[in-house]
Amino acid sequence: MKQHLSSDVFQYDFTNTFPGDQSGNLTPRQTPGVLYSKALPTPVNEPKLLAWSDDLAAELGLEKPNEADVNILGGNLVTPSMQPYALCYAGHQFGNWAGQLGDGRAICLGEWEAPDKNKWELQLKGAGRTAYSRRADGRAVLRSSVREYLMSEAMHYLGVPTTRALSLVATGDQVVRDMFYDGRPAYEPGAIVCRTAPSFLRFGSFEMLRARNEIDNLTNLVNWTIDRYYPHISGDDKVLKWFGEVVERTATMIVEWLRVGFVHGVMNTDNMSVLGLTIDYGPFSFLDNYAPDFTPNTTDLPGRRYAFGQQANIAYWNLSCLSNALVPLFSDADQLAEVLKTYEDHYWAKYYAMMAGKLGLDQVRDEDVYLFQEFEKVLSAIQPDMTIFYQLLIELPLDAKSESDITAHFQDSLYDELTSDQGMQLQGVINRYQIRRKANTCTEDDVQTLMRRSNPRFILRNYLLHQAIEELEKGKNELFLKLQEAIKDPYAKRFDEFFEIRPGWAAEQAGCSMLSCSS
């Protein structure tokens, strides 16, 4: 039976288990000894529902929102038994210890039990100040909210582990933002996203407790996390097994990012989920042209710490921070170090299997590793559109041998004309690939099925998001609605009006090529 949000059946296992600050004081401050602080949403002028995820709502057992529900989603209504709170955590940001951070503009309404008995945390992002807002206003703008709403749902339909988004609400208020931190602040329309996940616990949640030497809280949080989210793990070594599974889930998530060409943009340890979910969508992007050193985050320049090709290494670095946080729970920290080392084996096994899927290979043979490396080398050199290149690879005639025929076949994926050397490079790797593909023991129909399942045809490009946001700011929603449908079917040809390389005007357009962490 479906229910309304306003039926007020939230649960609060987390807040009932751990110490929190119940004062409701929103003054920015350090909160030692607690894992959360009470935070009531700040009311807005005129909440208006812009988007609602019917599929997610059905999974949660939720009715379409009525007026009371919209007021909840906009932060204007807190029902009598609600206990909204902001999570306290710490983290490493751009490689440096940042100390206490916490939910500065996200307020958790509570835990919602779905019809299948699974529980989901529902969190309002942009609902006002919390004790962790520091000097910020706790709000979010329409620009960033549209991006998070659409992208988290897009990643779900792509098959990438992710948090999800239930609703998008315009607030009717204006919010001041300096989009590129260049001294030119401007008013933008405000919005709130209701995002959902089984848990929003991060690596930084555990780092905070270790840094404060709150070992009892650390022990309790680890055990609670295992019992609730990893119930299949037991035994005297369950913490070690749990860490090993976090390592493997993180490797899985990163490989899925690489499969679809996703760049997170700000892989701080406070943005890493202990459930292996993509979390905290900010200055993200999909790859257009294949550039391993591409970062969509202006704050990440010039070092490009979080560039597309660095994400696997950064995930390992972040896992090492998590392992350091767990050291007090072990008499022999070498055990953690040994488990951490398994990341490399997990990653490469999953990466090679992923590449075999993208290329339509029946299995990963020893000699295929060299072929994968050659593809990486050639794609990095000629920088075709990643999504379109792999779609064209699916349709590659196996008798296409010459440089001219091969270049012509991939022409629609190219941003620049190939030099003679580049054409020869492409011909070489494609010829080797054709030989390997013919050696498959499966049928060509099987190959086609595998490749179409592994390679998305539609991705939510930044320039499309930019155009949809501009239209919404003008009161139009045609493109937004179309994108909302397109993200649900990314492997089909239904939305081939978007099947083209990034237009030239978008290469340098603010909000289309790079973004800042500001939102």
d(CA 154, CA 485): 10
Q: Which residues share a beta bridge with 188?
A: 175
User: Please, how many CA atoms are within 13 Å of residue 518, restricted to the half-sphere of its CB?
Assistant: 20
- The single residue of 69, 103, 270, 300 carrying the catalytic annotation is 270
Q: Please state the φ and ψ torsions of residue 495, each to the nearest 5 degrees.
A: -120, 45
User: What does DSSP assign to residue 342?
Assistant: H
List of E strands, 156-314:
164-177, 186-197, 262-263, 285-286
Is the bond leading into 283 cis (omega within 30 degrees of zero)? no
Cα separations in angstroms, 443 against 186, 341, 372, 446: 58, 38, 21, 5
CB-CB contact of 176 with 141 (8 Å):
no
Q: Which residues share a beta bridge with 189?
A: 174
Cα separations in angstroms, 469 against 46, 182, 279, 463, 500: 19, 21, 21, 10, 20
Give the chain's radius of gyration (CA, Å): 24
Tell me how crowded residue 505 is: count the other CB atoms within 10 A of its CB. 9
Structure tokens at 413: 């994926």
Amino acid identity, position 183: G
300 carries an active-site annotation? no
Cα separations in angstroms, 397 against 175, 391, 394: 53, 13, 9
User: Please, how many CA atoms are within 13 Å of residue 484, restricted to the half-sphere of its CB?
Assistant: 19
Structure tokens at 152: 């988290």
CB-CB contact of 318 with 267 (8 Å):
yes
Cα separations in angstroms, 171 against 75, 184, 191, 236, 259: 9, 23, 5, 50, 36
d(CA 194, CA 50): 12
Structure tokens at 357: 């899927």
CB-CB contact of 214 with 199 (8 Å):
no
Tell me how crowded residue 139 is: count the other CB atoms within 10 A of its CB. 27
Closest CA to 169 of 138, 137, 196, 140: 140
d(CA 251, CA 245): 10
CB-CB contact of 139 with 128 (8 Å):
yes
């208006």: which residue's tokens?
48
- Catalytic residue numbers read 270
